[in-house]
Amino acid sequence: MSKVFISLDQNELVQLKSIALDKDPEEALEFVLKHIISKVEKQEKGKLKHTIID
């Protein structure tokens, strides 16, 4: 699996830090599903466009 780099806006970063402090697994999963997965999928789709050869 290749490396994926994502960026978080200020609100997402605050949420992530809050989750880390609270150590709430349900909130962590919700954050990953809502914010991280879509960014990873978007980046992977962008990489596929560059690797497809006609």
Tell me, what's the pLDDT at 1?
63
- The mean pLDDT of the chain is 85
Tell me, what's the pLDDT at 46?
74
Residue-range definition of the domain harbouring residue 17: 10-51
Assigned domain for 1 exists: no
Answer whether residue 25 shows pLDDT above 70.
yes
Q: Per residue in 8-24, pLDDT tens?
A: 999 999 999 999 999 99
Which residues have a Cβ under 8 Å from the Cβ of 16 and sit 6 or more positions away?
Answer: 8, 31
Q: How many domains does the chain have?
A: 1
Assigned domain for 23 exists: yes
Tell me, what's the pLDDT at 30?
96
Answer whether residue 35 shows pLDDT above 70.
yes
Average pLDDT of 44-50? 67
